[in-house]
Amino acid sequence: MKPLVPDAGPQPVSALDNVGPMTPPAPRPEASADPSSSASVVWIDSHCHLQFEERDGGPGDGIRRRESDTLAAEIVARAVEAGVERMVCIDTDLATSREAVRLAGEFPEVWATVGLHPHDASKLAEEWEGLV
């Protein structure tokens, strides 16, 4: 990992360090512009969770992790078809941060965040090193 600050001593560990082999991210798509308009509109889904399946809507309304990339690929394809050019995949803990980063490497329209949701604050001590 390239140091954040040259010659500054030990550097923080990145959330990417423990992800394993990854393919380089695809080039990001260029924003489209309507040639008849002087302004360009870019639709961005600023908060999605591609690493989870849909809520089941039943008692407890549980969110389940998905077991394959099929659903994520379908969601990204539908979003692009609807005109969404970027999607920010939000995570909740170290595992979902790693998955968001992996998905961002797979789908050029997807960007990832790395962090810990307040509902998972009890995991801070054990996951901190992997998140920074």
pLDDT in tens, 25-42: 556 556 555 555 556 788
pTM: 0.61
Per-residue pLDDT for 7 more than 60? no
Mean pLDDT taken over the chain: 74
Give residue 59's pLDDT.
64
Mean pLDDT of 82-98: 91
Helix (H) or strand (E) holding 84: strand 84-89
Q: CB–CB of 131/114 below 8 Å?
A: yes
Average pLDDT over every residue of 91-107: 90
Question: Percent of the chain beyond pLDDT 70?
Answer: 58
pLDDT at position 70 is 80
Q: Which residues contact 27 (CB under 8 A, 6 or more apart)?
A: 108
- The answer for residues whose C-beta is within 8 angstroms of residue 97's C-beta and 6 or more apart is 15, 91, 112, 113, 114, 115, 130, 131
- Give the burial string for 11-32 (b: 16+ CB within 10 Å, else e): eeebbbeeeeeeeeeeeeeeee
94, 127 Cβ separation under 8 angstroms: yes
The dihedrals phi and psi of 80, each to the nearest 5 degrees, come to -65, -40
pLDDT band at 125 (very low <50, low <70, confident <90, very high): confident
Q: Which residue has the higher pLDDT, 33 or 12?
A: 33
- Confidence category of residue 1, pLDDT binned at 50, 70, 90: very low
- Report which of residues 97 and 1 the model is more confident about: 97
Residue 108 has pLDDT above 70, yes or no: yes
Domain ranges in the chain? 43-54+65-119
Locus of tokens 């998972």: 120
CA nearest 89: which of 43, 51, 131? Answer: 51
